[in-house]
């Protein structure tokens, strides 16, 4: 007698598929139940204490001043504008810190492999010292030991009537957007697209004919000519404001705080080690092959070693960018008005909306981190070695 193969076998815990589905359903139910319990318990406690929930507080007037803001602000502005100011200050420190730490880290990483004994040892000392000191202590060091001993604003060190170094920081000119800013941005985007298309055309032309094309000089000319023409047609895209001493402090411009310097120095030490390991991962035969073709050490490093090392450098470099963005919250230790100090600090204390404020702050840092990860993962995929 033949068995009916297609017939259902019934519900049995001995079936691995049944157990797999059962455990997943139990896990989902437990997670949902735990989430609902936490939400219900929180709502009950808030009602017993007379604390209203919601985001209506964002429309109320803040009533306090902010020392540094990239957009216009008065004490009558809402908490929502305070949030935007804190977000912009956080993004400013993160972006500038990433750029400066990358440049400094690559320089130190290459110097770490220099055949010159002095340069090699100085780079090693830099890495071992700054990498093993917590970033908060470095921020406090630059603030209390370096910045505070400087003279006050009235006796500040004047550098060309535009830069003023005092115990309040380094005051420098700041750029404000004009009506021609967005046409200039469009011109920059067009320039980037044109340079990319020109580079691809030059590469295909070289592969087909073997004739080189001066991509660097042509691209540099395009990067200068197109934005300049846009600025001449529509006007200057930026208006520079120079710091002016009024009363006991400077008004206008932008202030570089010691936190930015500390995060740059700290993160650059880790990036330098990533660069060193990436360069060491490239076979020494590549260097010998480049020398046999007559390439000098400089072009060999730029055109042969670094492009191959980037496949090893990028993944840990992404982690360092994420660490720098998250470590920017340590600016609260010296009173810099970022998201943590301004929004999760002052706004939370004034409104008492702890859940909403902390949820918004956590969402901001999550969004920043995910954006950095997506961008770096996209670049890592672009330069990844494609195996056949």
Amino acid 14: pLDDT? 75
* Other beta carbons within 10 Å of 305: 21
162 part of a folded domain: no
* C-alpha distance from residue 245 to each of 94, 136, 163, 171, 353 (Å): 28, 30, 12, 10, 38
Res. 52: pLDDT tops 70 = no
> What is residue 61's DSSP assignment?
B
Separation of alpha carbons 267 and 135, rounded Å: 9
Amino acid 108: pLDDT? 94
Question: pLDDT-derived band of residue 9, with 50, 70 and 90 as boundaries?
Answer: low
Q: At 275, phi and psi to the nearest 5? A: -65, -45
134 CB-near residues (< 8 Å, 6+ apart): none
Judged on CB neighbours under 10 Å (0-12, 13-18, 19+), 262 is: buried
Q: What is the mean pLDDT of residues 53-63?
A: 80
Res. 128: pLDDT tops 90 = yes
312 part of a folded domain: yes
266 part of a folded domain: yes
Amino acid 366: pLDDT? 93
Q: At 78, phi and psi to the nearest 5? A: -85, 170
Res. 388: pLDDT tops 60 = no
Q: What is the mean pLDDT of residues 12-28?
A: 84
- Of the two residues 323 and 337, the one the predictor is more confident about is 323
18 part of a folded domain: no
Q: What tens digit of pLDDT does each residue of 140-186 get? A: 888 888 888 888 888 888 887 788 888 877 888 877 778 888 888 89
Amino acid 193: pLDDT? 92
127 part of a folded domain: yes
280 part of a folded domain: yes
Looking at 116-130, 200-214, 238-252, which range is the least confident one? 238-252
Domains identified in the chain, total number: 1
Amino acid 10: pLDDT? 58
Q: Pick from 184, 194, 185: which is nearest to 231 by CA?
A: 184
pTM of the model: 0.77
* 138's tokens: 């470095």
CATH code of residue 117: 1.10.3720.10
Quote the percentage of the chain above a pLDDT of 70. 95
Q: Which domain holds residue 335?
A: 79-153+258-383
326 part of a folded domain: yes
Amino acid 6: pLDDT? 46
271 part of a folded domain: yes
- Of the two residues 46 and 24, the one the predictor is more confident about is 24
Separation of alpha carbons 225 and 215, rounded Å: 15
Res. 30: pLDDT tops 50 = yes
């Amino acid at each position: 007698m033949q068995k009916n193969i297609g017939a259902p076998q019934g519900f049995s815990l001995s079936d691995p598929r049944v157990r797999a589905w059962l455990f997943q359903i139990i896990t989902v139910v437990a997670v949902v139940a735990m989430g609902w319990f936490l939400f219900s318990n929180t709502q009950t406690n808030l009602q017993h204490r007379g604390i209203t929930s919601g985001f209506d507080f964002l429309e109320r007037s803040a009533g306090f001043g902010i020392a540094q803001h990239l957009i216009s602000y008065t004490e009558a502005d809402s908490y929502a504008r305070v949030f935007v100011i804190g977000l912009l200050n956080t993004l400013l420190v993160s972006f500038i810190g990433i750029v400066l730490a990358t440049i400094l880290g690559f320089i130190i990483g290459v110097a770490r492999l220099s055949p010159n004994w002095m340069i090699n040892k100085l780079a090693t000392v830099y890495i071992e010292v700054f990498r093993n000191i917590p970033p908060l202590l470095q921020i406090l060091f630059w603030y209390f030991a370096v910045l505070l001993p400087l003279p006050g604003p009235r006796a500040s060190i004047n550098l060309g009537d535009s830069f003023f170094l005092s115990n309040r920081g380094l005051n420098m000119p700041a750029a404000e957007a004009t009506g021609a800013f967005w046409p200039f941005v469009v011109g920059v985007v067009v320039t980037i697209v044109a340079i990319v298309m020109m580079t691809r055309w030059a590469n295909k032309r070289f592969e087909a004919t073997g004739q080189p094309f001066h991509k660097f000089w042509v691209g540099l000319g395009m990067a200068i000519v197109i934005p300049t023409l846009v600025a001449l047609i529509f006007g200057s895209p930026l208006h520079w404001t120079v710091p002016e001493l009024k009363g006991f402090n400077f008004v206008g411009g932008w202030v570089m705080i010691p936190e930015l310097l500390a995060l740059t120095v700290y993160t650059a030490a880790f990036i330098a080690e990533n660069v060193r390991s990436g360069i060491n991962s490239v076979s020494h035969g590549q260097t010998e092959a480049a020398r046999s073709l007559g390439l000098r050490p400089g072009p060999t490093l730029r055109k042969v070693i670094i492009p191959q090392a980037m496949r090893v450098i990028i993944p840990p470099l992404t982690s360092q960018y994420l660490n720098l963005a998250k470590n920017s919250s340590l600016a609260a230790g010296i009173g810099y008005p970022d998201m943590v100090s301004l929004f999760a600090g002052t706004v939370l204390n004034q409104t008492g909306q702890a859940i909403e404020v902390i949820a918004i702050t956590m969402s901001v840092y999550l969004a920043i981190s995910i954006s950095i990860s997506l961008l770096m993962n996209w670049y890592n995929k672009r330069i990844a070695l494609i195996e056949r």
